[in-house]
Amino acid sequence: MPENDLFPLDPDFVLSERLDPGVLRQRAASGRELQRFRKAPQRLFELRFRRRSTDEAEQVRDWYARFQQDFFRFNHKVYVNNAGTYLARHFPVVFASEPEYELASNDGWNIGVELLEAVGRPLPTANYPSPTDGHLSFFIEEDDAARAKALTGSWAIAAQANAHAGQEATNSNLNTTDAFQFLYAGYGFRLWARKASDLGILTVLLDETDLGNVDLYAASSAASAALLTKTDIPLGIHRVKILATNTKNASSSAKTIVADTIEVIP
């Protein structure tokens, strides 16, 4: 499988940039600004190899010949200190252009390779990025006008000391048609919420796939934390939906559920 094919050489250095995702912005009659991703933002990697052997140059040529029409995996290493410690992250990629070769000496080649992050392509399960491994993440809060909204039912946003950013959206959890949605562009995510003795059970969908229930009950109140993690998701535009279940833990005093925040891996 292509996701198991790892680019064979480590470059001397890498330049990377995020490309414009093509966000479509519109303004509703109410004055609210709406935005829609046309596609997920992609990274462009520029790999530079200095004075490499003819054998290594041939490896790159062979790799390009093999993967002109398919994706593969690139291990991007970013050094975090001067002691040689680095953080590695794997990306699904395709060739953005044909590699360039420059003869630098009798048997030394300077090589330039451009790789484009591939949308919708899988990685081996163990190679997906995760915040627990130190990979970059960011949060989308429940009051994000562009990326979070109540789809159906009443979701009241109010201050709550144990919520992630000091507030959350709550729902009585009496109607199973009530739903709240987060929209994001990236890989996997973590759902954050608080727990308390008066909270119920919710269901989480990712792109309409049921990820199971999350029980928000706890005998003692607990601050917002990651309660559900799904990291093995290819790069793309994804929707996380919170659904009411009209159920609760037998020990809970109420069925109320909350929409707090999701942590996204870009």
Segment 218-254, tens digit of pLDDT: 999 999 999 999 999 999 999 999 999 999 999 999 9
Q: What is the largest CA-CA distance in the chain?
A: 79
Q: What is the mean pLDDT of residues 173-177?
A: 97
Q: Which residues pair with 189 in a beta bridge?
A: 230, 264
- Burial class for 57, CB neighbours closer than 10 Å (0-12, 13-18, 19+): buried
pLDDT of residue 81: 67
Residue 232's CB is within 10 A of a number of other CB atoms, namely 15
Q: Could you give all domains of the chain from N- to C-terminal order, each with its CATH number?
A: 2-123 (no CATH), 138-264 (2.60.120.260)
Residue 159's CB is within 10 A of a number of other CB atoms, namely 8
For residue range 7-47, what is the model confidence (pLDDT) as tens digits? 999 999 999 887 766 555 555 566 655 566 677 899 999 99
* Side-chain half-sphere exposure of 229, counting CA atoms within 13 A: 10
For residue range 104-146, what is the model confidence (pLDDT) as tens digits? 988 899 999 999 999 999 999 999 999 999 999 999 999 999 9
